[in-house]
Chain A
C-alpha cells in the first residue's frame, strides 16, 4: 500500500537528555565516589544525601532489553538455576554479569555496572528485587538493605507510613558506614526538594498528553523518563524537565502533536516491550492511534514528597505507587486516567516475566470494559525476553483493536 510520507515528529530536547544520561553513566567511572545500587522506586534521595552515586539495575535491565541483547543473556542465568519465567530484568542482568557483556561498554566505555559499596532495595514493586539484589550483594561482597513495606494496599495507612519511615531511618547507620559520611537532615531535605520539583515537572510533561493532538506519546515518555528514574534528587533532572516541558507546552500552543490527527487515544498498561519500542511506536502511528497514557511512566510521579517531612513523605510516596496497590485502588486510579486523558481504548501488556506489573491477570480489563464500556485488549509479551512475544499475531491484534476503536 502506498504510504504517505510525513515529516517525522521529533522531541528536540532528546539531544540534551542523551548528553545528561551519557554524563550520568560516565560519572560512574569515577572510582573516588561511593556507589549505591538501588531499585527504581527505592529511596534514592536518602542515598544521594550521603553523596552516593546511584546505579539502578533495572535501568541496566531495560538497556539490555532495548538493545535486544537480553535474549542471549537470559539463558546464562537459567543455567544457574533461575527460571526463565521470572523477571527478565533479573535474568538478563545476572546473565550480563556472568557473560561479562553489556551495552555500557560500547556506549560509555564501562566494563559493566559500577562496583557497589551498598545495595538497597524496596519490595514495594515486587519480591524479585530481593533475590536479585541479594545475589549481587553476595557476589560483590557488600552490605545489602531491604525495605519491606506493606504490599498491595488499598490506601496507605498511618501505621504503614510509620513502618516504612522507620525502615528508612534504620538505613541511616548503614549508609553512614558505607559512605563514610554522617547523616545530614538538611542534605536529605534538599534532595527531597529537588526530587519533588523534578517529579512535579515530570508530571506536567506527562499531563501535556491530555491535549489532542498530544505532544508526547507513551513511547516517547519511556525514553524521556530516564532522568527521573536515575537522576531524581539532582539539579540536572530538574533542569532537564524544565526544558522538556517548555518544548512540549510550546508544541501544545502551536497545535503540534506527534500525530497530526488522532483517530483514537489509547492507554498502555504495564511494562514496555523494550526490544520492540520503535516498531510498536511506528505501528500505532501508522494507524493514527495515539498512545498517550500509562501508569508505568506515572510511576515516577511522587506527589507526596515534602522536604519539611522527608522521612514520612517519602515513605508515603514510595508506598502509594500504583504497582503496590490493591485491585480496587488500581481500578480507581485507572478510571480517573481514562477520564482525564480522554481514553477510548486500553491495551494491557501481560508481560510473561513480570507478574507484579501485569494487571490483566485478575480480570481487570473485562471489569473495566463491562463497567465503563471502554474497549480493552490484552497482548502477551515481555519486557526483555522476546521469546515470549509473537510479533505477527500481536500486530494483527493491535490493528484489529484500532479498527474497533476508529
Chain B
C-alpha cells in the first residue's frame, strides 16, 4: 500500500491541508475557513482523507496547531514555510509570509534551516486584515484591488502604523478625490513599506508566500520595485506551509521507522 503524509496549517483565517505521496508529490489539497462554526466540515474532510489515503503521519502547524488532536508532530509555520519553499527552491533566500494577522520574514537556508526570522507581535499593520479594513473604508472591491493598482503610477503611502488611524488617513485621499486605482496602489505601497522596515539581507532573493499574495498578486510588482531583487511567488503560495508540514510529517515517519527498525 502506498504511504501518504499530511500537513495541516491551521491559520487565523484559513485552514489549509496538503497530502503528499512518497515522492513528495502533492496528491490532495483543500482549504476551509478556520473559524467555521460548523466543526463538522473539517472533521468530514479529515475522515475523507483518511479513507482515501493511507496517511501514516500528520504534522500540524499554524496558530491552531496545538488544538489539532490527530497530529503526530507539531511544528511552527515559520519552520514549515522554510521547509516548503526550500523543497521547491533549495537556495539561501528571504521568505516573506504575509498572513491574515501577521507578517513573518524568514531568512531560510537552502537546506530548509531557519537562519533568522522576524515576526510582528505588536499590531496588525501591514497584514491581510490591514488591506481588508482599508479597502472597506475606501469602498474598493477586495477582489479587484490588484487589477486596479496595476493601472496606477501613484507613489504615496499611508503613514500611520495603526490600522484604525490609517483608515482615517485614507479618508483624506478620498476627500481629495484620489482615483480608485491610485488608492489601491497606495494601500499596497503602505504594506510593502512596512515590510521594508524589517531587517533583512538585501542580497537575497525574496519569496512571497501566504494568503495575501495569493489574492493580491500585484504586491509582487511593488516588492520588486521597492527591494530591487528577484521576487518569486511559488505556485499556490497560500498552501506552501501545509506542504512544508506534509514534508515534515514524512521526515518524522521515516525517522520513526528507522528507530523502530533498530
Contact = CB atoms under 8 A, between A and B. Distances in A.
Given A396-B78, A403-B79, A404-B114, A1 B121 contact: no
A380 B68 contact: no
B45 interface: no
B71 A400 contact: no
Interface stretch (A96-104, A108-116, A387-395): A387-395
A397 B103 CA distance: 12
Contacts of B76: 396, 399-400, 403
B74 interface: yes
A329 interface: no
A221 interface: no
A403 B115 CA distance: 11
Interface in B48-77: 60, 63, 66, 68-69, 71-77
B210 to A, nearest CB: 14
Contacts of A304: none
Contacts of A399: 76
Nearest to A398: B76
B74 A380 contact: no
Contacts of A396: 63, 76-78, 119
Nearest to B123: A390
Interface in A367-394: 379-380, 390, 392-394
B74 to A, nearest CB: 5
B114 A393 contact: no
Interface in A1-18: 1
Nearest to A404: B114
A394 B121 contact: yes
Nearest to A379: B121
B68 A393 contact: no
A400 B121 contact: no
B122 interface: yes
B114 A400 contact: yes
Given A1-B68, A1-B72, A390-B122, A400 B63 contact: no
A278 B41 CA distance: 35
Contacts of A380: 121-122
B117 interface: yes
A403 B102 contact: no
Contacts of A394: 121
Size class of the contact patch on chain A: 10 to 19
Contacts of B120: 393
B257 to A, nearest CB: 18
Contacts of B73: 1
Contacts of B71: 1
Interface string B64-96: 001011011111111100000000000000000
Interface in A37-90: none
A8 B120 CA distance: 34
Nearest to B79: A403
A380 B60 CA distance: 25
A393 B113 CA distance: 20
Contacts of B121: 379-380, 390, 393-394, 397
Interface string B121-140: 11000000000000000000
A215 to B, nearest CB: 28
A380 B120 CA distance: 9
Nearest to B102: A393
Nearest to B115: A404
B241 to A, nearest CB: 12
Contacts of B117: 397, 400, 404
Interface in A346-385: 379-380
Interface in B118-164: 119-122
B107 to A, nearest CB: 11
A188 B23 CA distance: 76
Contact of B114 (A1, A392, A403): A403
A399 to B, nearest CB: 5
A379 B60 CA distance: 24
A375 B19 CA distance: 33
A399 B75 CA distance: 8
A358 to B, nearest CB: 14
Given A400-B114, A404-B114, A1 B119 contact: no
A21 to B, nearest CB: 33
Nearest to B77: A396
A345 to B, nearest CB: 12
Contacts of A393: 102, 119-121
5 contacts: A379-B121, A396-B77, A397-B117, A397-B119, A400-B117
Interface of B: 60, 63, 66, 68-69, 71-79, 102, 113-114, 117, 119-122
Top 4 A-B residue pairs of the complex, sorted by shortest distance between their CB atoms: A393-B121, A400-B78, A400-B76, A390-B121
Interface of A: 1, 379-380, 390, 392-394, 396-397, 399-400, 403-404
Given A1-B68, A396-B76, 11 more contacts: A1-B73, A379-B121, A393-B102, A393-B119, A393-B120, A396-B119, A397-B121, A400-B78, A400-B114, A403-B76, A403-B114
